[in-house]
Chains A and B, each alone.
Chain A
């Protein structure tokens, strides 16, 4: 493994590989792949540091290897936060290392706020990246609205190190909430939980997250929770309105700020499923099919929790669980054997542009 500190050295390593028919497996902090380096890894973790932060403009720029914790601390000092709420997957996946900005962008992470605020792809304003030919390019910029030319930021975000080595990221950020409140109902089954979450998510109360933790995973009776983030008076008012709205689904408790923040951090990181692997997946799907999918997963010996009001299932269990996947579900392996997906024909053509020599190989 090599971990160059400077972009020019990252580019040089790629140029060398391209010239000699070599390959690199791009790596960040290793918290998602479970491989922090290893043979053939080009780690971006040493290329780090916040380049600038303009809180009034809601913009931060940092190098790819910057730990997310460092960015979150800098933002918190100004009362701001990362909108996509990227998870720290170390507990869920049993990995070590340090989650990095580059890793979060390359895998397009998102947390419970996905349904309300979007994923990393929704807030990447600009990128620097090195192609498989070793050329350094800029995409996007530093302003909040920009439709100038093709949006290569979105193509690179989530490309999992297969189209380019992202070296620097400019992100939109927002003020963090003054208060966080949670309205939680215990004892619902999966279908009832989806109904309760849908009722909250279609209410006018700006629910920023909705999860359901199944009885098997951590909570004995199952717990369905909805989150409000805003100024204190609004959180108090909306939690009460939500509690009333959910009365027909069950008796709701309200968690105060401190407990809410701790609870949603656990949900974000998938902690209720920690250690229940060997394999772990993130499944995106329609909320209305989440209960049926959960039943199939359970029947195959898997455990699950719902996020995004049922638009996301986090699944842990034996590798065979993936065989239960159905049409209309998007399974991404977080730990275990990758699921083969057929790619669009444009992918080969785009790869021929960005990585003509096939330098970048899958992590």
Chain B
């Protein structure tokens, strides 16, 4: 992956820049020793590594503002970082950049049950929000697979989704307000503590902007009441096409399950070996379907769904009878990445979205490509909303294998765009898909987006070299 040349003057002034940071932050908040920079050299896309110039770990919005003022004045690039779980390399440093790590900003500032929101700092983990409000009967809806580790600031940067967003929406639909710092070090507030607090949707523009418009330090999320209960069922089918048709039929019946997940045969086998959830090993495709409500409502909905699934000649169907059984079903799905990690030394997780009507065709062509590239692939799919996660297995110790895996991944994403979809449904463009943006956008469309970024960051110091293909200087 090509990166812009580090700014030689910044590298030359490294000592002075670090000293400047030490002057405005507590001693333990500035990291500049090569060995201590190591943990920050990569993120969830570990194929790429680059130690930064330095790392700062501010504890407050005021400290973030002071850092950004200094770095802006010095013309130093900045890379915001939450937990570093990005699968697209969104937090990959540059040699001449300072990583602004938000992990120490991990306080929950306010929970309001009447107005149903929570104000949390950017370094609070996704799951910690739900944990903090659960006892009061609430939850925070978006639930990326990495929710135990990933931080809300990163979720905002990437507009993260999860398995339940068909029903509850993605991050952008669940955030009411933000506090952040502009590249010049000005503290700004977007939105508020109620919906539509600003007529212009700055909030919507900043969410998903991959840390390129603002460094977000506080997030006001809406919290939703927990349902009376939830239950999952499994259904195994003889072919991907048949499982896809079953998904269509469920939605056509007027049912929007809270989750509707699709796994193909390799994914079923890998996850079952890991979670022992009782997945049907003889099926070509499997659906996990979850419904909510009282016990009677769950029974009624699951009965409707079973009746629909019966029309598609399922190999097996199993309705979870206990909370433990539902948890095991989800353990397999949420642990899918780890499960693939057990059977392959390395894998690439792709993240395209396709119109759901093209599912069978796309999976067929991915299988064909898998044979051509000589690499195994397992497919996991948020079936209701068309968000596809092919996991391409390879061996990073074999450079040829890695190159083939990346080429295979790029072909899958081109295919997603070709059938009317997009390059990324929830992981973000980051560095990984940067050079594929031209597949989805015309040059003038990319130029327009670049100029909107420039409206916030005229000198291109905030997380540059991500999202947009590099422009020749």
Cβ of B303 to closest chain A Cβ, rounded Å: 11
| Chain A contacts with B in 81-110, Cβ cutoff 8 A | 108, 110
Q: Which residues of A contact B251 (CB under 8 A)?
A: 56, 58, 175
Interface of B: prevailing SS: loop
Cβ of B299 to closest chain A Cβ, rounded Å: 10
Cβ of B467 under 8 Å from chain A: yes
Q: Which of A118, A139, A202, A285 contacts B113 (CB 8 A)?
A: A202
| Chain B contacts with A in 192-237, Cβ cutoff 8 A | 192-205, 207-209, 225-228
Select from chain B the residue with minimum beta-carbon distance to A56: B248
Q: Which residues of A contact B420 (CB under 8 A)?
A: 141-143
Q: Which residues of A contact B421 (CB under 8 A)?
A: 141, 143
| Chain B contacts with A in 411-437, Cβ cutoff 8 A | 420-429, 433, 437
- Whether the Cβ atoms of A332 and B199 lie closer than 8 Å is yes
- Whether the Cβ atoms of A155 and B204 lie closer than 8 Å is yes
Cβ of B188 under 8 Å from chain A: yes
Q: Which residues of B contact A299 (CB under 8 A)?
A: none
Select from chain B the residue with minimum beta-carbon distance to A118: B173
Q: Which residues of A contact B336 (CB under 8 A)?
A: none
Q: Which of A108, A174, A237, A311 contacts B296 (CB 8 A)?
A: A237
CA distance A157 to B382 in the complex (A): 27
Task: From known contacts A204-B226, A349-B455, infer whether A147 and B205 are also in contact, taking CB-CB under 8 Å.
Answer: no
Select from chain B the residue with minimum beta-carbon distance to A195: B114
Q: Which residues of A contact B137 (CB under 8 A)?
A: 202, 204
CA distance A352 to B454 in the complex (A): 11
Stretch of A43-51, A246-254, A340-348 lying at the B interface: A340-348
- Whether the Cβ atoms of A151 and B204 lie closer than 8 Å is yes
Cβ of A158 under 8 Å from chain B: yes
Task: From known contacts A119-B196, A143-B355, A144-B385, infer whether A150 and B425 are also in contact, taking CB-CB under 8 Å.
Answer: no
Q: Which residues of A contact B356 (CB under 8 A)?
A: 56-57
Select from chain A the residue with minimum beta-carbon distance to B384: A144
- Whether the Cβ atoms of A233 and B429 lie closer than 8 Å is no
1/0 per residue B140-165: CB within 8 Å of A? 00000000000000000011010001
Select from chain A the residue with minimum beta-carbon distance to B160: A147
Q: Which of B197, B201, B441, B444 contacts A135 (CB 8 A)?
A: B444
CA distance A158 to B198 in the complex (A): 10
- Whether the Cβ atoms of B228 and A157 lie closer than 8 Å is no
Q: Which residues of B contact A33 (CB under 8 A)?
A: none
CA distance A56 to B205 in the complex (A): 29
- Whether the Cβ atoms of A198 and B114 lie closer than 8 Å is yes
Q: Which residues of A contact B378 (CB under 8 A)?
A: none
| Chain A contacts with B in 291-330, Cβ cutoff 8 A | 308, 311, 328, 330
- Whether the Cβ atoms of A149 and B429 lie closer than 8 Å is yes
Cβ of B324 to closest chain A Cβ, rounded Å: 21
Q: Which residues of B contact A201 (CB under 8 A)?
A: 116, 225
Cβ of A104 to closest chain B Cβ, rounded Å: 14
Number of A-B contacts (CB under 8 A): 218
CA distance A144 to B247 in the complex (A): 15
- Whether the Cβ atoms of B200 and A159 lie closer than 8 Å is yes
Select from chain A the residue with minimum beta-carbon distance to B427: A147
CA distance A237 to B437 in the complex (A): 49
With most chain A CB atoms within 10 A of its CB, the pick from B196, B252, B425 is B196
Interface residue total, chain A, C-beta cutoff 8 A: 72
- Whether the Cβ atoms of A57 and B357 lie closer than 8 Å is yes
Select from chain A the residue with minimum beta-carbon distance to B214: A346
CA distance A121 to B196 in the complex (A): 10
Select from chain A the residue with minimum beta-carbon distance to B254: A175
Cβ of A167 to closest chain B Cβ, rounded Å: 15
Q: Which of A118, A202, A308, A353 contacts B448 (CB 8 A)?
A: A353
CA distance A158 to B112 in the complex (A): 28
Cβ of A268 to closest chain B Cβ, rounded Å: 16
Cβ of A266 under 8 Å from chain B: no
Q: Which of A54, A150, A203 contacts B209 (CB 8 A)?
A: A150
CA distance A174 to B384 in the complex (A): 11
Select from chain B the residue with minimum beta-carbon distance to A177: B254
Task: From known contacts A57-B386, A58-B251, A108-B196, infer whether A174 and B445 are also in contact, taking CB-CB under 8 Å.
Answer: no
- Whether the Cβ atoms of A147 and B452 lie closer than 8 Å is no
With most chain A CB atoms within 10 A of its CB, the pick from B114, B248, B385, B387 is B114
Interchain residue pairs A-B with the least CB separation, the first 7: A154-B204, A349-B455, A145-B425, A144-B385, A175-B254, A143-B353, A284-B196
Apart from A145-B387, A311-B115, A311-B194, list 18 A-B contacts with CB within 8 A: A54-B357, A57-B357, A145-B425, A149-B449, A150-B208, A151-B159, A151-B207, A152-B452, A155-B201, A155-B204, A158-B201, A175-B254, A175-B256, A234-B293, A237-B296, A288-B112, A330-B199, A349-B454
* B positions within 8 Å CB-CB of A: 112-116, 137-138, 158-159, 161, 165-166, 169-170, 172-173, 188, 192-205, 207-209, 225-228, 248, 251-252, 254-256, 293-294, 296-297, 300-301, 353-357, 382, 384-387, 420-429, 433, 437, 440-442, 444-446, 448-449, 451-456, 467
Can you list 17 pairs linking A and B with CB atoms under 8 Å apart?
A54-B355, A57-B357, A119-B195, A143-B420, A145-B161, A147-B428, A148-B423, A150-B449, A152-B448, A152-B452, A158-B199, A201-B225, A206-B227, A286-B194, A308-B195, A328-B193, A353-B451
